[in-house]
Structure 1
Amino acid sequence: MGNQVGKGANRMAIAAMSNVTHIEKRELAALLGKFKEISGREGNSNMINRTEFGEALSIVGINQNDADILDRLFTMYDKSGDDQINYRDFIVGIAPLISGTHQEKIDFALRLFDSEGSSYMKARDIVNVLSQMNRVASYFGDPVMTEEQITSVVVDVQDMAGGAVDGLNDTVHYVEYIKIISDHPIVNTFITGGGSVQYGMGR
């Protein structure tokens, strides 16, 4: 799981990256739309390849420096080495690169994943969104949360919503709980650079 690290108040590298990239909400929303459009050509609604990825970045107008960063993140997401990634996971993972508070970034990531705009999401999907954000933070060398900690955050939200009937398969009106997620002690420890594990650059 990586090297153990203690708590700290260090500035997170991914937070610093949001100050040097020029990626904003409108670009990410446009990328999501373009990824969805392009992926539909081959009949796989969740996956895009590297060529399609580059095409979308070009159409949306992502500048070269930002495109280089996103291309490296594409490589990280390409676990199987077949030059394909799940674009929805990728988009929510890079949401922390926009400017704003961590609550705004979590809010935006959840809304991006909620493709139907219903304001409802299965608890397991909230776990996935937080995991993807965590994953990208780990790429930049930040101490991050464990999967168990992320699940614990969402279970706490479920408890506040009245308790889980079907575990992580339960549906949550997530917009009511964005502030609670953002203010959760585990998330706050992560945000202040005190994550429990550190995977290192490019992992």
Structure 2
Amino acid sequence: MDQRALKKLVESISKSVKSFQKSEIECLIKLFNSLVKRTDGRLAKIGLDRHAFQGILHKIFGMTDDKLMDRVFFVFDKNNDNHINVNEWVKGLSVFLRGTFEEKLKFCFEVYYLNGDGYISEEEIFDMLRNSLHQYLPEEQTDEGIKELVEITLKKMDYDNDGKISFADFERAVREDTLLLEVFGPCLPEAQVQL
């Protein structure tokens, strides 16, 4: 990418991304381009595929949960083309790394509602908790314990008692207890990462 094209892209992205300075956006674009070229030269015009992105989440951010990394990929991939382009990369990282509380709240909720219907269902809660806890308990003990955790979670977060957690329910619960932001598994970096 030549300097002129890079400068134009930085200007374009900086209009919608306020949490990074232009110099940081430029660095993120250069990093993106090097990551894409390193993974597969054929993707240069498309972007990062799911596998490459999960590798980045694992190596740079220490994430290990495949299901959550997959969901983070889909939240970054706003145009649903199964690739993260440079705009999605910078915009996603702006929330992921420097987002406001409200942006991170929305991000985590989007990661957690698995089927795209805008609600976190009882089944989704069960699947996420099972996925997170399966490494700590034998399978026989896991399911019963998780069923109990699902009931507790719904009692704590389902304010309108409809058997699922809406964004309004999630927001209210997290505002009352911020530890609930990542209740179904870590989907944000634990510490500030220098890229």
**TM score, norm. by length of structure 1:** 0.29
**Structure number with bigger Rg:** 2
**TM score, norm. by length of structure 2:** 0.30
Q: Which has the higher contact order (CA 8 A, sep 6+)?
A: 1
Which structure shows the higher helix fraction? 2
